[in-house]
Amino acid sequence: MINRERLAETFKTLVMIDSISREEANVSDTICRMLAFLKPEIFIDKAGSKTGSNTGNLIMKIPGDKNISPLMLNAHMDTVSPGKGVEPEFADGVFTSKGDTILGADDKSAIAIIIESLTAINENRLSHGPIELVFTICEEIGLLGAKNLDFNLIAAPYGYALDTSDIDAIITQAPAANQFEINLYGKDAHAGAEPEQGINAILLASRAIAKLSLGRIDEETTCNIGVLEAQGATNIVPKHVRVKGEARSHDEAKLQRVTDTIMSAFESVVTDYQNQHRLDDLPKFNASIHKEFSCTHIPDDHPLVSLAQKAAGELGRKMAPKRTGGGSDANIFFENGIVTGVIGTGMTDIHSTRESIRLDDMVKSAELLVEIIQKHGKNAE
């Protein structure tokens, strides 16, 4: 039923369209052309003006022959850099790029799979329920498309995001994440002539960071410092340093505790220095904390999970619920009342020039999606 050659050609066409974050319009137009035969109702929301993209999120509503709630399918249209001028290569059943760009399988493999699945369903005149396609922008730069999605356009109570590697698992648990930025201020001075007159902001930030547990804290929780940034010269005591990082946990209470610990570490270092040197105004720090996304916890017996597992069973496969440490559009959909599991396309080494994907895995993902769509429709009978 799935046409391998057509799927491969669709994928190649998509990855050759430049669509780094905020430049997704050409991919959006191509998707509309490729699915025009379904005569979908098409909406482009106002997320583009809110994110700085040249288009908004693309929502396509495909009518079904069952009077049931729609099923949502999601993929994102943007890619990371270096993502301009992608030249895909295909050898031994595997897609790669020529090596100086990403491939773009994240997430254009998902778009190609959705298009091929719907094409096969239409060709074979298979019955299905209503389907809502949500192709988002700016996923790679903080899930901004989903965060600014017009959810009034979505009626589906649940659905699937195609945005992971494992084709035999459904991600039902994803963490919440906090991002933080801390600015610590000391005092500049000549590092050779009078270092005693300065307050080294880098040194104080380092002391605070040394108090922290970083990396994997426990099976549910991680923490990372990703940016330590200061400007100046080697002969100047640095007066300002910026620290950026994140904490993640599947337990919201743990996430709060880790975040509080980070803030306390910086506060104690600053306070200790002030007390030791009898200072009031310096050093000092300020911090901003941003909730990147909330956690996703979908019960194993949810209809979303059962539907995917039954569809996999029809193909002689198994699909296990899985926990991940990453976030996706699914987290934002979940926050907004749309229960969303994440299923895989087979993409590997994403966000690197080594990115690749096997056509066989894409075919298997498309076969699974066809079964999911069919079973969703039959559940109403």
Residue ranges per structural domain of the chain: 4-174+295-378, 176-293
Q: Report the C-alpha gap between 48 and 24 in whole angstroms.
A: 10
Encode pLDDT of 255-280 as tens digits. Answer: 999 999 999 999 999 999 999 999 98
Kind and range of the H or E element at 291?
strand 284-293
Phi, psi of 313 (to 5 degrees): -60, -35
Do 4-174+295-378 and 176-293 come out as alike in CATH topology?
no
pTM of the model: 0.94
Annotated catalytic residue within 139, 292, 329, 371: 139
Residue 338 in this model has a pLDDT that exceeds 90: yes
CATH superfamily of 4-174+295-378: Zn peptidases (3.40.630.10)
Say if CB 160 and CB 73 are below 8 A apart: yes
Who contacts 51 (Cβ-Cβ below 8 Å, separation ≥6)?
Answer: 22, 137, 138, 144, 145, 148
The string of pLDDT tens digits covering residues 27-65 is 999 999 999 999 999 999 999 999 999 999 999 999 997
pLDDT bracket for residue 138 (50, 70, 90): very high
Residue 70 and residue 64: Cα distance in Å, rounded? Answer: 8
Can you tell me the distance from the alpha carbon of 257 to that of 239, in angstroms, rounded to the nearest whole number? 29
pLDDT tens for 119-129 read 999 999 999 99
CATH of 176-293, picked from 2.60.40.420, 3.30.70.360, 1.10.220.150, 3.40.47.10, is 3.30.70.360
Vertex 235, ends 232 and 236: CA angle to 5°? Answer: 50
Sign of CA dihedral 92, 95, 100, 102: negative
**Alpha carbons 227 and 224: distance in angstroms, whole number:** 9
Q: Over the stretch 299-329, which tens digit does the pLDDT of each residue have?
A: 999 999 999 999 999 999 999 999 999 999 9
Phi, psi of 300 (to 5 degrees): -65, -25
User: How far lies 321's CA from each of 366, 369, 373, in Å?
Assistant: 19, 16, 19
**CA 99: distance to chain centroid?**
23
CB 359 within 8 A of CB 88: no
Which stretches of the chain are DSSP H helices?
Answer: 4-15, 25-34, 47-51, 105-123, 144-147, 201-210, 252-277, 303-314, 329-335, 359-378
Catalytic pick from 78, 132, 292, 371?
Answer: 78
Q: Scanning the structure block, which residue is given the tokens 């104080």?
A: 204
139 belongs to the catalytic site: yes
